[in-house]
């Protein structure tokens, strides 16, 4: 007789753009009990999807749902992706990273809905916060931020290496007055979550109306991108959630100049820049958020990927020209 199928323990890792969600999942994957298979579902605001390529390096089975905020893809696209991931990986645990520009309620609804009742069991929801951001009233008022916090079973201050004692104290005071009282609060750096935090059950706190933020992407997320061989330089743009993204998929034969890409990434109109690219010196993982730059060696991929997110829509052709120049291409190429 086959073993009865046990529901897969599942954790959401929430938090605002660039707070350290992918870093934290990478860190959890390094602490995974030997012999277990963990799967990661990641949804990015941008169309191109960078985190999947980064997460695959830690041996997880990864499925990306690029494009849009998770609430918009939380219906069918997410169910298709999730079902395929579960069928392929048969994971012992599932970690989900929704976009930082997303609203968690619809994804929670999907995961706890009838379809997944016997398939998944929702463990603690972990929300990361950069305590420095609490100084910005616009962050505190942001509905996505508030609902990411409201959904948290465990509230974690990340990037504490970059915080002053006062900022950490202010974080603790802010966390202490949040309702409901009594959720676990921790301070960490470099996304170093304890693997023990993923065990247990979520208290499923209430979050506000998911329909409070109407917007439209007007696109079909199920269409696969064109082949990189046929189309070696692909530019895709996305809008929604009061933000815009521009992304590129680039043939790995087109090597980029790291310094030129970095110069483009440091443009202070960008809220976020990330890339897994083939440079003249080798593969690199670039990350820029809040003026902090990280450059790491990367593993060879089937293509280079670049993504930037802005509040105001940028002229995609201006950015494209810069990136093309970094690959030694002119507009006409
Ligand atoms: N100094 C410092 N840097 C950190 C810490 N955690 C993450 N970072 C860096 O912050 C950048 C963004 O981290 P990610 O893990 O990609 O953040 P994310 O929340 O997944 O970002 P999005 O998916 O774009 O929303 C990377 O360059 C990380 O190396 C930390 O605790 N301290
Ligand atoms: Mg991420």
Q: Are strands 233-240 and 243-250 parallel, antiparallel or unpaired?
A: antiparallel
Identify whether 332 is part of a domain: no
Q: Is 319 in the pocket of ligand 1 (CB under 6 A)?
A: no
Q: In what order do the strands lie in the sheet with 243-250?
A: 233-240, 243-250, 304-310, 270-279, 282-289, 292-297
Cβ burial of 135 (10 Å; 0-12, 13-18, 19+) is: exposed
Do residues 291 and 19 touch, judged by C-beta distance below 8 A? no
DSSP secondary structure string for all residues of 90-122: --SEEEEE--TT--SHHHHHHHHSGGGTTTEEE
Do residues 124 and 229 touch, judged by C-beta distance below 8 A? no
Identify whether 120 is part of a domain: yes
Q: Is 98 in the pocket of ligand 1 (CB under 6 A)?
A: no
| Residue 86, C-beta contacts closer than 8 angstroms, at least 6 positions apart | 8, 39, 94, 119
Return d(Cα 208, Cα 190) in angstroms, integer.
30
Ligand number nearest to the C-alpha of 290: 1
Q: Do residue 259 and residue 314 come from a single domain?
A: yes
Provide the residue-wise pLDDT of the chain in tens; the chain has 333 residues.
445 578 999 999 999 999 999 999 999 999 999 999 999 999 888 888 899 989 988 889 999 887 766 566 777 888 889 999 999 999 999 999 998 887 788 888 889 888 898 999 999 999 999 999 999 999 999 988 999 999 999 999 999 999 999 999 999 999 999 988 889 999 999 999 999 999 999 987 555 554 444 444 444 455 677 899 999 999 999 888 788 999 999 999 999 999 999 999 999 999 999 999 999 999 999 999 999 999 999 999 999 999 999 999 999 999 999 999 999 997 666
Identify whether 12 is part of a domain: yes
| Main-chain phi, psi angles of 298, to 5 degrees | -125, 170
Q: Do residue 239 and residue 204 come from a single domain?
A: no
Domain span at residue 55 reads: 8-211
Ligand 1 pocket test, pick from 49, 58, 262, 289 with the greatest ligand atom count within 8 Å of Cβ, gives 289
Dihedral sign computed on CA atoms, order 49, 304, 219, 239? positive
Do residues 62 and 42 touch, judged by C-beta distance below 8 A? yes
Do residues 308 and 282 touch, judged by C-beta distance below 8 A? no
Atom of ligand 1 nearest to the CA of 162: 1
| Main-chain phi, psi angles of 259, to 5 degrees | -65, -40
CATH code of the domain in which 142 resides: 3.40.50.300
Q: Do residue 197 and residue 247 come from a single domain?
A: no
Identify whether 228 is part of a domain: no
Q: Do residue 180 and residue 252 come from a single domain?
A: no
Q: Do residue 79 and residue 168 come from a single domain?
A: yes
Identify whether 139 is part of a domain: yes
Return d(Cα 256, Cα 253) in angstroms, integer.
9
Closest CA to 75 of 105, 45, 119: 105
Q: Which of 163, 180, 211 lies at the terminal end of a domain, its last residue?
A: 211
Q: Which of 180, 211, 242 lies at the terminal end of a domain, its last residue?
A: 211
Model pTM greater than 0.85? Answer: yes
Take atom 7 of ligand 1 and give the residue whose Cα is closest.
Answer: 20
3 state DSSP class of 253: coil
Identify whether 219 is part of a domain: no
Identify whether 181 is part of a domain: yes
Domain tally, the chain: 2
Return d(Cα 192, Cα 77) in angstroms, integer.
30
């Amino acid at each position: 007789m086959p073993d009865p199928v046990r529901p897969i323990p599942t954790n959401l890792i929430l938090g605002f753009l660039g707070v350290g969600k992918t870093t934290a999942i990478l860190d959890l994957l390094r602490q995974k009990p030997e012999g277990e298979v963990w799967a990661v579902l990641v949804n990015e605001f941008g169309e191109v999807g960078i985190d999947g390529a980064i997460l695959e390096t830690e041996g997880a089975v990864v499925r990306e749902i690029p494009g849009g905020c998770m609430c918009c893809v939380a219906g069918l696209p997410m169910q298709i992706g999730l079902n395929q991931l579960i069928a392929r990986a048969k994971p012992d645990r599932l970690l989900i990273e929704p976009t930082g520009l997303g609203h968690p309620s619809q994804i929670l609804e999907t995961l706890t809905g009838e379809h997944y009742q016997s398939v998944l069991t929702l463990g603690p929801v972990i929300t990361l916060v950069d305590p420095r951001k609490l100084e910005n009233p616009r962050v505190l008022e942001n509905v996505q931020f508030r609902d990411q916090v409201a959904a948290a079973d465990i509230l974690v201050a990340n990037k504490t290496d970059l915080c002053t004692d006062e900022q950490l104290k202010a974080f603790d005071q802010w966390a202490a007055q949040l309702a409901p009282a009594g959720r676990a609060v921790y301070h960490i750096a470099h996304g170093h979550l304890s693997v023990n935090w993923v065990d247990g059950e979520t208290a499923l706190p209430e979050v506000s109306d998911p329909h409070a933020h109407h917007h439209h992407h007007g696109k079909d997320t199920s269409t696969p991108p064109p082949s990189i061989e046929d189309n070696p330089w692909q530019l895709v743009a996305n809008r929604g959630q009061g933000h815009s993204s521009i992304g590129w998929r680039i043939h790995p034969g087109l090597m980029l100049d790291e310094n030129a890409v970095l110069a483009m990434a440091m443009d202070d109109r960008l809220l976020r820049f990330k890339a897994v690219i083939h440079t003249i010196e080798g593969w690199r993982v670039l990350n820029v958020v809040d003026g902090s730059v990280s450059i790491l060696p990367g593993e060879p991929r089937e293509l280079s990927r670049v993504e930037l997110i802005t509040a105001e829509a940028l002229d995609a052709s201006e950015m494209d020209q810069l990136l093309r120049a970094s690959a030694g291409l002119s507009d006409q190429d």
